[in-house]
Structure 1
Amino acid sequence: MTTVRTCLWFDGGVDAAADFYTTLVPGSRVLHRMPYIPVPDSPATPPADGGSLAVVLSLAGVEYTLLNGGPHFPQSEAVSIELIVDSQAEVDRLWDAIVGHGGEESMCGWCRDRWGVSWQIVPQRLYDLLEESGSVATAVTAEMFTQRRLDTARLEAAAEAARS
């Protein structure tokens, strides 16, 4: 059997990140915490925060490993966790939780948490609108490019204007 899981490299904080992430997404939980075990003559150093070497968690059934690997490979927007949600209220809840706990806003529904991990908070309605005719998809995309936190009402208004 093969298991596929994404591993995210951290410079400390995997325990706090795992605990925070599992509060964000319903149906999520920490599966396993792996303590750091010193190995003689190894170049590896224990995590500066004294935390776990790695934490395996499930976010709504998708598994991730958070590895306390040190400062060698910082996070970037080249990798993100996309959360597709059903309502503007859920967009707002997730956005406020991530940005409000030391994160920062980016563009087009992207934000970054305090550990540098990028997230995309996307209403399903955006994908529905992008599947419509070329003029609707173009108008919705243009509107999306003006936003940081995605606003479903504004995306809908852009689509309606393109249909008229």
Structure 2
Amino acid sequence: MKQITPYLMFKRDAEAAAEFYVSVFPNSKIIKKTYWSELEIDDMKKKGFPEDQLPGAAGSVKTVSIEINGQRFEACNGGSPFEFSMGVSFFTNCETQEEIDNYTEALLSDGGEQFDCGWVKDRFGLFWQVAPAFMVDVMNGPDSELAARVSVALFQMKKIDIAKLKAVAGLAPREAESSAA
């Protein structure tokens, strides 16, 4: 197997979503777009797909391949009635409060929704966990009591406050930054 690639199924917003994600995250790019053929759309119609479940007209965007900071994603206009859920989210390993603030604000723009513990639902319905990188080390570390204290502090937050979490963890700013490396 070469790799595992998240495949994101949108009703008809794949191109707009891909362009949005590439604008939010540095080191990101659109790799390729494909388009629905007349043959494919006609076949869906013959199979009785309801009009509101068609992915668009022939010639409209079918898939958009993007890369976000080295991770490849495929976005597809499937016309599907499926919706994203918190059951699958993307964790952003932020190094600074500025990154947390910037990503949170960007992902919330134009209709996103903020949830507890740094979770954000963007305007396309995709869920993100905008959190500090050192959290992974604390949560997976050997000190389960420390992890529990940090979790309890995290439960009190919507947008993450790194300084407060570091204080609960007993980490000085430099220690927290070096533990994430």
Fold match (TM-score > 0.5) = yes
Matches of 1:41 and 1:134 in 2, distance apart? 55
CA root-mean-square deviation = 2.0
Deviation by residue 1:106-154 (Cα, 9 ceiling, x = unmatched): 1211111111000111111222333262332111110011111111111
What is the CA distance between 1:51 and its match in structure 2? 4.3
Secondary structure, aligned partner of 2:38:
coil
Residues 2, 133 of structure 1: alpha-carbon distance in 2 compared, 3 angstrom cutoff: closer
Residue 110 (structure 1) aligned to one of 113, 119, 123: 119
TM-score of the superposed pair, with normalisation by structure 1: 0.88
Choose between structure 1 and 2: higher helix proportion.
2
Query: TM-score, length-normalised on structure 2?
Result: 0.80
In structure 2, give the amino acid aligned to 1:14. A
| 2:37 alignment partner AA | I
Unaligned runs of 5+ in 1: none
1:150 aligns to 2:160 (yes or no): yes
Spell out the pairing of 1:1-164 with structure 2 (5 A cutoff). 2-39=2-39, 40-43=42-45, 45-47=54-56, 51-130=60-139, 131=141, 133-160=143-170
Identity of matched residues, %: 30
Distance in 1, Cα, partners of 2:164 & 2:44 = 55
* Structure 2: tracts of 5 or more residues without a match: 172-181
SS of 2:160's equivalent in the other structure is: coil
Secondary structure in 2 matching 1:41: helix
Counterpart CA distance in 1 for 2:31 and 2:115 is 30
Q: Distance in 1 between matches of 2:72 and 2:14?
A: 14
Structure 1 residue ranges (4+ consecutive) displaced by more than 4 angstroms after TM superposition: none
* Per-residue deviation, 1:3: 4.1
Q: How many residues align?
A: 160
What is the Cα deviation at residue 96 of structure 1?
A: 0.4
